Each structure stands twice: as structure tokens, then as C-alpha cells.
Amino acid sequence: MSHFYTDVDHFALLPAILLALFGCAIFLFDFLLGERSRRWQLTLVLPGLALTGWHLWKQGQIAPFTAFHGALTIDAFGLFFNWLFLLTAALIAVISYRYLEIEDEHQGEYYGLVLMAQTGAYFMAVGTELITIFVGLETMSLSFYVLVGFLRRSRRSNEAALKYLILGAFSSGILAYGFSILYGIAGSTYLTDIAVAVAARPAFDPLTVLAILTVSAGILFKISAAPFHMWAPDAYEGAPTAVTAYLAVGSKIASLALLLRLFLGPLGSAREAWEPLLVLAAIASLTVGNLAAVTQTNAKRLLAYSSIAHAGYLLLGLVAGNATGLQGIAIYTGAYVFMTIGAFLVLMAVHGEEIEDLNGFARRHPVYAVPMVVFLLSLAGLPPTAGFLGKYYIFLALIESGRYVLALIGAAYVAVALFYYFRLVRSMFLLPAIEVERPKASSLGLRVALGATGLITLGAGIYPEPFLQLAMRSLLK
């Protein structure tokens, strides 16, 4: 090992190397073996993820440490998010199998792209250097553009992919512009150097303000917060449902990790310049997300608007800025992963997208309908579920830091959220079923994932202690 690539560097890079290798192996097997390899793709994804998990665990033993002269920082924060990415990718891979078979697009590339997206997300969570972060973000985004358009013969999937690509590439461009200004301020691409240079300037220095405007616009796009949310409902609706779940969870929390890294790290000293922006974005997201969700007739679109509202709550945690707020964000993201994937996987089991497709679902499939109620309660933020804990800590943080009005606005929108989530419950339990022939969408993987997400969503609400500890340990120092 040379001076340019030490053992520590290799150790820090290993999870990403494994993910990329397994991703490439899947592409290759699919190309060489074709139809015959399809059944084995899933059995290649899961060992790949397990191996990655093993290395993440080994990294956790000696974290925190830096590699590549500070370009990668493996700390509790980065590892927390990487564990979430890992669980997300595993759940998505398991639930996609039957779905892709029904849609007749069961291709190996799908699993390869899922792993590639996770490779990019890895660098977004642990990268502490602008080029590393940018390339990681693009690796993830490019995989997602293709995944959204994965149903090649479906016009809606094409259209969703195109809209997501145009706005996604635009937001990446704006974000890169912000990065170039940050580089101009510091003369270095390392976040630690940028933090020093930004702190040496006044908070309302024109260059700093330009950097904050462009960087926050770029990232708000990626976490689908208003006023940069317009791509989300279209992309979520048109994408294959399994990909919608991955997009809503993987892409959003990876971008959230990046947001926290940048705004608490290098831009931390310019807090007075960015805080009003994020307050506005949070209030706008809560308003747009919750009010637009009320009138939706498509369940995927409804969940898209609800995910915009969730982005608003997460931003409020950052606005509060104290340790409770950050703990709240960690709990909220953890809960968000499981309740969102859970809700989408029930939609996959229904094999319908309109809310009326859910009519009478409870009678036909009580095994799916009852957990769906838990997920919806959690999304709305009612006890005893994980979603309640997340909202509770974020409201607590807002009150502790004296932002009573924001806490009140946040709490008021929970009532609106209850209304539209319970439209889904009503349609499942109270309305008579519309008789249509549906393919058998249930599968072993779907049921296992349903059990796992359901147990965690409910378990974290009933016995929260371990989750609170975990969240406390993973804060960004």
C-alpha cells in the first residue's frame, strides 16, 4: 500500500467497493447468462448487502476515523445513515421480485442499479470533500433516473423518468454551482477548510449568501421540500411502485444526510443567513404537502405529498438546531424508512394505485390491511408508533428552543394528515370491494418485509428505549 492509498483508506472504501462489485457482477451475469440468471439475481444481492453490513460493523468498531486525507469521515453519523441505506436496499430488493415478474420487466439490471444507487448514497453520508460528495450524489441520482423509467413500455414510467431527470439534473447543476462558490471561498474542497473560511467571513457576505442559496435550493430539490417539490408527485406516481418506495426513502434520507453534513459543518457559522430560508421551506412543505394530499385520488400521489410534508418536519428539526432536534431527526428518519416502505409494500400487495383500489381490502387480505393501519398511524404521528416518537422529539426541540409558533404549525398539520390517511383506512375497512381480476401480487419476500417493517414501526413506539439510545449516539458532533 502506497502513501496515496493506505490500509485505512482501503478499509474506509470497502463497503462502497463491495456494493459496486456486486452491482457490476449482476450486470455482467445478466448480460452473459440472460434469462437463466434471473432467478439468481436476488441471491446475489442479499450476500452482497450482508458482506457490506459486516464491513460497516467492523468500521463501527474503530469509528470515528478519516481516510484519503479527510475526504471520507467514517463517524457514527455516517454509519447510522449507511445502516439505514443497507436495510432500505435489502427490503426493496426483497419486495421487488414478484412485482417485476407481474410487470413483465424482471431484469437483472434492476438489482444492479439498486446497489449502484446505494454506492452513491454511501459517499453522500461519509463524504467530507466536495468532489467526493458530488460524484456520490450523481452516482445515486443517475441510478434513480433509470430506475424510475424502468417500465420501458409504460408511457407513464417514461414520462416520470423524463421529468425527474430534467429537474434532478437541473438541481444537481445548481448544487454544483453552490459547491464551486464554496470552493472559491475557501480555495479547498475539504469541508473542514471551508468551515474555517466561511467562519472568517461575515454571515451575510455576498459570496456566502450566494453559496447558501444555491446549495440549499439544490438539496431542497433532492429531499423534495417545497417550493422545489413539483417533480415528486409525478415521479412517484409514474415510477414502478417498488422504485417509488426506494425513491421516497433512499434518495430522501441520503440527501438529508448531505444537508446535515453541509449545514451543521461548513455552513454552521452562517446559521443566521440560512435559518430563515429553511423555516420558510419547512412551512411551505408542511402546507403544500398536507393540503395537496387531501384532494388526491391516487394513493401513490397521496404518499408523495405526505413525503413532502415529512421533509418539512425533518427541516424543522434542523431549524431547532439543538441536540434534541438532531436526535429527533435521527429517530424520524429511522421511523420514516420503515413506515414508508411498509405503506408502499401494501400498495404493491393491492396491485392498484387508486385509493378506490383499496376498497374492501381488509376483508380480502386482513394480513396486509392491519399492518397498513399501523403504518398510516405512524405516518400521521400517533402513538404507539415510531412516527409519534419522531414528531414528539422534533416538537420538543422546537419548544425547548423557544420556537412555539413553529411547533404549533407542525402540530396543527398533524390533524390535517390524520384526515387524509384515514381516507385510506376508511376505504380499506368500510367500503365494499370493487370486483376486478387482479394478479396474485403477494409473495414470501413481501410478507417477510411486511412483518419486519410492521414490527419495527410498532415495536419502536411501544418500547422506544433502544431506538432513543441509537439515535443519541449517531448525532453529528
Partner 1 sequence: MHYVAVSLAMLLIGTAGLLTRRNIVIILMSIELILNAVNINLVAFSKHHGNAAGQVFAIFVIAVAVAEAAVGLGILLALFRNRETVQVDEVDLLKW
Q: Which residues in this chain contact partner 1 in the complex, by CB under 8 A?
A: 130-131, 134-135, 138, 142, 145-146, 149, 152-153, 155-156, 158-163, 165-166, 169-170, 172-174, 176-177, 179-181, 183-184, 187-189, 207, 210, 230, 233-234, 237-238
- The answer for residues whose C-beta is within 8 angstroms of residue 330's C-beta and 6 or more apart is 80, 470, 471, 472, 474, 475
**Contact (CB, 8 A) for 147 and 246:** yes
List helix spans (H) across 34-69.
38-62
> 228 or 395, CB closer to partner 1?
228
User: d(Cα 101, Cα 393) in Å, to the nearest integer?
Assistant: 41
> 227 or 451, CB closer to partner 1?
227
35: which 3 cell numbers?
Answer: 434469462
**Contact (CB, 8 A) for 250 and 104:** no
Give the count of alpha carbons within 13 A of 281, CB side only: 28
Q: How far is the CB of 361 from partner 1 (least distance, A)?
A: 25
Angle separating helix axes 366-380 and 404-429, nearest 10 degrees: 170
User: d(Cα 382, Cα 164) in Å, to the nearest integer?
Assistant: 32
Q: How far is the CB of 256 from partner 1 (least distance, A)?
A: 21
Q: How far is the CB of 97 from partner 1 (least distance, A)?
A: 23
- The answer for residues whose C-beta is within 8 angstroms of residue 122's C-beta and 6 or more apart is 15, 16, 19, 82, 85, 136
> 101 or 159, CB closer to partner 1?
159
User: d(Cα 199, Cα 340) in Å, to the nearest integer?
Assistant: 38
**Contact (CB, 8 A) for 94 and 156:** no
Burial (Cβ within 10 Å: 0-12, 13-18, ≥19) of residue 64: middle
> 137 or 326, CB closer to partner 1?
137
> 177 or 392, CB closer to partner 1?
177
Q: How far is the CB of 464 from partner 1 (least distance, A)?
A: 39
Burial (Cβ within 10 Å: 0-12, 13-18, ≥19) of residue 297: exposed
Q: How far is the CB of 110 from partner 1 (least distance, A)?
A: 15
User: d(Cα 121, Cα 115) in Å, to the nearest integer?
Assistant: 10
Q: How far is the CB of 379 from partner 1 (least distance, A)?
A: 22
> 172 or 457, CB closer to partner 1?
172
Position 350, amino acid: V
> 24 or 62, CB closer to partner 1?
24
Q: How far is the CB of 173 from partner 1 (least distance, A)?
A: 4
**Contact (CB, 8 A) for 163 and 144:** no
> 255 or 453, CB closer to partner 1?
255
> 144 or 388, CB closer to partner 1?
144
Q: How far is the CB of 132 from partner 1 (least distance, A)?
A: 10
> 153 or 440, CB closer to partner 1?
153
Q: How far is the CB of 179 from partner 1 (least distance, A)?
A: 8
Q: How far is the CB of 180 from partner 1 (least distance, A)?
A: 4
CA dist 462 to 383, 386, 444, 459, 466, Å?
8, 8, 27, 5, 11
**Contact (CB, 8 A) for 232 and 249:** no
- The answer for residues whose C-beta is within 8 angstroms of residue 453's C-beta and 6 or more apart is 91, 338, 339, 341, 342, 345, 371, 375
